[in-house]
Amino acid sequence: MRNFDVIVLGGGAAGLMCAFAAGQRGRRVIVLESSNKIGKKILMSGGGRCNFTNLHCDPSRFISANPHFCISALQRYTQWDFVALVEKHNIAYYEKTAGQLFCERSSRDILGMLEAECDSAGVQILTHCEVQAVRQPDDFEVASNMGEFSAAALVIATGGLSIPKMGASDFGYRLARQFGLNVLDTRPGLVPFTFTGAIHEITERLSGVSLPATVQAGQQTFAEDILFTHRGLSGPAALQASSYWTPGEDIVIDLLPTTDAAALLLHAKTNSRKTLLRSVLSEHLPKALVTELQNLCWPTTADKPIGDWPDAGLRQLAATLNGWTVRPAGTEGYRTAEVTLGGIDTNELSSKTMQCIRRPGLYCIGEVVDVTGHLGGFNFQWAWSSAQAAANAI
Ligand SMILES: Cc1cc2nc3c(=O)[nH]c(=O)nc-3n(C[C@H](O)[C@H](O)[C@H](O)COP(=O)(O)OP(=O)(O)OC[C@H]3O[C@@H](n4cnc5c(N)ncnc54)[C@H](O)[C@@H]3O)c2cc1C
Q: Residue of the nearest CA to atom 53 in ligand 1? A: 338
Global confidence as pTM: 0.94
**pLDDT score of 302:** 62
CATH 2.40.30.10 domain position(s) in the chain: 192-331
In this predicted structure, the answer to whether residue 300 has a pLDDT above a threshold of 80 is: no
CATH architecture under which domain 2-188+338-393 falls: 3-Layer(bba) Sandwich (3.50)
Cα(204)–Cα(384) distance, rounded to whole angstroms?
A: 38
Q: Which helix (H) or strand (E) holds 280?
A: helix 277-282
What is the band of 274 on the pLDDT scale with cuts at 50, 70, 90?
Answer: confident
CATH 3.50.50.60 domain position(s) in the chain: 2-188+338-393
Distance 42 CA to ligand 1 centre (A): 7
**pLDDT score of 347:** 97
What is the band of 97 on the pLDDT scale with cuts at 50, 70, 90?
Answer: confident
Pair 344, 160: CB distance under 8 Å: no
Q: Which helix (H) or strand (E) holds 265?
A: helix 261-271
Closest by Cα among 348, 378, 317 to 51? 378
**What pLDDT digit, counting tens, does each position of 159-180 carry?**
999 988 877 889 999 999 999 9
Neighbours of 44 (CB within 10 A): 14
Mean pLDDT of 247-259: 97
In this predicted structure, the answer to whether residue 301 has a pLDDT above a threshold of 80 is: no
Mean pLDDT of 107-118: 98
Type of residue numbered 77: Y
* pLDDT: which is higher, 295 or 188: 188
DSSP state of 257: T
**pLDDT score of 165:** 82
What is the band of 96 on the pLDDT scale with cuts at 50, 70, 90?
Answer: very high
Neighbours of 185 (CB within 10 A): 8
Distance 213 CA to ligand 1 centre (A): 29
**pLDDT score of 370:** 98
Instruction: Specify the ligand 1 atom closest to the Cα of 158.
Output: 34
Distance 105 CA to ligand 1 centre (A): 20
Residue 149 β-bridge partners: 2, 142
What is the band of 267 on the pLDDT scale with cuts at 50, 70, 90?
Answer: very high
Closest by Cα among 299, 333, 329, 321 to 200? 329
In this predicted structure, the answer to whether residue 275 has a pLDDT above a threshold of 90 is: no
Within 6 Å (CB) of ligand 1, which residues are found?
9-15, 32-35, 38, 40-41, 44-46, 50-51, 131, 157-159, 162-163, 167, 169, 171, 338-339, 366-368, 377-380, 383
Chain-centre distance of CA 287, in angstroms? 31
What is the band of 98 on the pLDDT scale with cuts at 50, 70, 90?
Answer: confident
**What pLDDT digit, counting tens, does each position of 3-14 carry?**
999 999 999 999
Mean pLDDT of 102-111: 97
**pLDDT score of 273:** 80
Domain 192-331 CATH superfamily: Translation factors (2.40.30.10)
**pLDDT score of 305:** 87
Pair 247, 236: CB distance under 8 Å: no
Of 100, 158, 372, best ligand 1 pocket probe by most atoms within 8 Å of the beta carbon: 158
**Mean of all residue pLDDT scores within the chain:** 95
